[in-house]
Amino acid sequence: MSSMAVSHHDEFKAAKALGISHLKLGMWLFIASEVMFFGGLIAAFLNFKLNVPTDEIQLLDVALVGVNTFILLTSSFTVVLGLDALRQDKPQRLAFFLGMTILLGVVFLGGQAYEFSQLAQQGVTLSSSVFGSSFYTLTSFHGMHVLIGVLWALRNLLGTLRGKYGAESVEGIELFGLYWHFVDIVWIVLFTLIYLI
Partner 1 sequence: MQTPANESSHRLTYVLVFLILGGITAVEIGLTFLGLPRATARALFLTLSLAKAVMVALFYMHLKYDHRLYAYIFIVPVALLAIFAYLTVAS
Q: Which residues bind partner 1 (CB under 8 A)?
A: 19-20, 24-25, 28-29, 31-33, 35-36, 38-40, 42-44, 46-47, 50-51, 62-63, 66, 69-70, 73-74, 76-77, 79-81, 84, 87-88, 177-178, 181-182, 184-185, 188-189, 191-192, 196-197
Choose among 123, 125, 118: nearest CA to 65: 118
156 vs 15, 16, 129, 162, CA distance in Å?
Answer: 22, 23, 40, 10
Name the minimum Å distance from CB 87 to partner 1: 7
Q: How far is the CB of 97 from partner 1 (least distance, A)?
A: 11
Is the Cβ of residue 165 or residue 184 nearer to partner 1 in the bound state? 184
User: How many Cα atoms within 13 Å fall on the side-chain side of residue 103?
Assistant: 8
State residue 7 phi and psi, 5-degree precision: -75, 165
Nearer of residues 51 and 117 to partner 1, judged by Cβ? 51
Q: How far is the CB of 3 from partner 1 (least distance, A)?
A: 26
* Minimal distance, residue 189 CB to partner 1, in Å: 6
* Distance of closest approach, residue 11 Cβ to partner 1, in angstroms: 21
Return the number of the residue (31 or 106) whose C-beta is nearest partner 1: 31
Give the three-state DSSP class for 169: strand
CA–CA distance, 116 with 102 (Å, rounded to integer): 21
User: Are the C-beta atoms of residues 57 and 49 closer than 8 Å to each other?
Assistant: yes
